[in-house]
A and B are shown apart, each in its own frame.
Chain A
Amino acid sequence: MIKLENVTKTYKGDVPALRNADVEIAKGEFVFLVGASGSGKSTFLRLVNREERPEQGRIFVAGKDILELSSWKVPYLRRNIGSVFQDFKLLTGKTVYENVAFALEVIGRPKHVVKTQVPAILELVGLGGKMDSFPHELSGGEQQRVSVARAFVNRPLILLADEPTGNLDPATSVGIMRLLDRINRTGTTVLMATHDRSIVDTMRRRVIELDRGAIVRDQHRGVYE
């Protein structure tokens, strides 16, 4: 599903954010990216949905070399990739329902699809009763559920999560991880960058560890360190 071949990405004049990375992630896998801040986890994720381009190497998503895509095709790549962030990136002026509906509207999904899909996905993440609330009226955990719903409403092949529990307390984090696990069980490949030792140790999934841009460990049913 995702394949990196000898990928190197350097930001201006700095040490490489990612160095000669070779990784292959199969469809339906759940992968943790771990490592210290600045080790290249976010860069890894940003390369996969082509927010960044590497200086060197090739990146395949669903069998296609995404570096060959012309820029007008990039949006179509991203329709197959959901993204979740530490800071949720919800639109504060829109309700829960509108935030999720927005993701479908802007890719031109017809109204009747929006009307059926949005309540269904909000039900799935456990927010069926809060569709008309605004983000500031919700707890952090609830906001992250909205953001997961938005990322998943279009049923993407891949879900990228960049420290999704970074702003949440441990109990709430467990709830989010259950949700991501559930999404993973539908066949969606999940790639999650995290600092959260207990989550990684509890879930026992594949762990890829980065250190200053280099992959130093790739372990099935791994632990944080």
Chain B
Amino acid sequence: MALKLDYMVRETGTNLFRNLSLTIASILTVAVSLSLVGGSVLLRYSVDNATQQWQGGIEFIVFMQPEATGEQTDAVERQLEDSTQIERYEYFDQDRTFEEFKDLFQNTPQIVESVTPEILPPSFRVVPVDKSAETIESLRSVFVTQPGVREVVAAFDSIRTIRNLSNLIGVGLFVVAGFLLLAATLLILNSIRMAMFARRREIEVMKLVGASNWFIRIPFMLEGVFQGLIGSGFAIGVVFGVQRVFDNIAANQDFSLFSGLVVDNQQVMTTSVFVMITGVLIGALGSAFAVSRFLDV
């Protein structure tokens, strides 16, 4: 068995280097397509993260000026209290906002350090009775003119916009990635086919002397899996790169909706594992097809 193992490794290695250009082409295609897959998964995660403060039916947020006076805040609160169009609301004072902020920016401590509770805007998270766009727009226009109010952000618009945009980008990326993955599979298939062609005399002899079918197949299968694996390795590098980009975007933004456009390490790990498994599957699929179609054992 020891002999077989080093035989397999040797054969796989030889095959990979014999067809270096085609091997590189396959690996790069896998890398690019899986980068797109990984990117769109990360985007999905980051959008979910970015919108987490909008969960529980909150449709708009009234941000107060950080320096708004107590009376101004009380006035806004009273108005929310009295309005029949408001189902409920929640007040986030500066300390609570700071807690949330720390949570959102847990990956970039330098941002958290640069912020103190005093500079953050307190806010009212509001759940209206009627969630239609018109109602929210009319409520928005009422509150935005109140003294001490910095801005009113309606979830309806911004969440929809960001969700739609990310869906659009996500779907686009997935479609492109899908075609590229198909191309990658076909390239792997062809590089395995080339490897089998280069070794057709050896394969013929192996069949004649009675090498078992799997003994002949496995080095070719491993070659495909290896190409998928290396390609996914590059893609995982890209996934980590995207995380850095998101962090940078977040670092250069004021406290706004985009501040949530970060992904935590757990999500990056999950994405990486997903990318790796996809890479291995692509390699296995391409080579399995080549082996079953062209090896005839």
Residue ranges of A at the interface with B (Cβ–Cβ < 8 Å): 49, 71-72, 75-83, 89, 91-92, 102-103, 105-108, 110-111, 150-151, 154
B215 / chain A contacts, CB cutoff of 8 Å: 106-108
Inter-chain contacts of B209 with A (CB < 8 A): 78-79, 82, 102-103, 106-107, 150-151, 154
Chain A hits for B204, CB < 8 A: 89
B208: chain A residues at CB < 8 Å are: 49, 78, 83, 89
B206 touches A106 (CB 8 A): yes
B201/A72 in contact, CB under 8 A = no
Q: How far is the CA of A150 from the CA of B216 in the complex (A)?
A: 18
- Report B-chain residues with C-beta under 8 Å of the C-beta of A105: 3, 7
Name the contact of B213 in the complex, choosing from A71, A89, A103 (C-beta under 8 A). Answer: A71
CA–CA, A78 and B209, complex, Å: 6
Given A75-B213, A108-B1, 15 additional A-B pairs, CB 8 A = A71-B213, A75-B211, A75-B212, A76-B212, A77-B210, A78-B208, A78-B210, A80-B210, A89-B201, A91-B202, A103-B205, A106-B215, A108-B4, A111-B3, A154-B209
* Complex A-B: 15 CB contacts under 8 Å: A49-B208, A72-B212, A75-B210, A75-B212, A76-B212, A77-B210, A78-B207, A79-B210, A81-B210, A89-B204, A106-B211, A107-B210, A108-B3, A108-B212, A154-B210
Instruction: State in angstroms the CA–CA spacing of A91 and B206 once bound together.
Output: 11
Contacts of A103 in B (CB 8 A): 205, 209
Residues in A with CB closer than 8 Å to B3 are 105, 108, 110-111
Closest 4 CB pairs of A and B: A78-B210, A79-B210, A106-B211, A103-B209
**A138 to B201 alpha-carbon distance, docked (Å):** 19
Give A140 to B234 CA distance when docked, in angstroms: 51
CB nearest neighbor in A for B208:
A83
Chain A contacts for B1, CB-based, 8 A:
108
Give CA–CA (A119, B213) in the complex, Å.
Answer: 28
Q: Mark B1-36, 1 if CB is under 8 A from A, else 0.
A: 101100100000000000000000000000000000
Interface string of B139-176 (1 = CB under 8 A from A): 00000000000000000000000000000000000000
B202 near A72 with CB under 8 A, answer no
Quote the shortest CB–CB distance from B1 to chain A (angstroms).
8
Hey, which chain B residues are within 8 Å of A79, CB to CB?
A: 209-210
- Residue of A71, A82, A105 ringed by the most chain B CB atoms within 10 A: A105
Cβ of A116 to closest chain B Cβ, rounded Å: 15
Q: How far is the CA of A150 from the CA of B207 in the complex (A)?
A: 13
Take A105-B7, A108-B3, A111-B3 as given contacts and tell me if A89 and B205 are in contact as well, using a CB distance cutoff of 8 Å. Answer: yes
What distance in Å separates the Cβ of B137 from its nearest Cβ neighbour in chain A?
71
> Inside 8 A of B297's CB, which chain A residues have their CB?
71
* Nearest-CB residue, chain B, relative to A110: B3
Q: Which A residues touch B7, using CB under 8 A?
A: 105-106
In the complex, A78→B208 CA distance in Å? 7
- In Å, the complex CA distance between A106 and B219 comes to 12
A195 to B260, CA, bound (A): 84
Determine the distance from Cα of A82 to Cα of B186 in the docked complex, in whole angstroms. 37
> Nearest Cβ distance between residue A107 and chain B, in whole angstroms?
6
CB distance from B278 to the nearest CB of A (A): 30
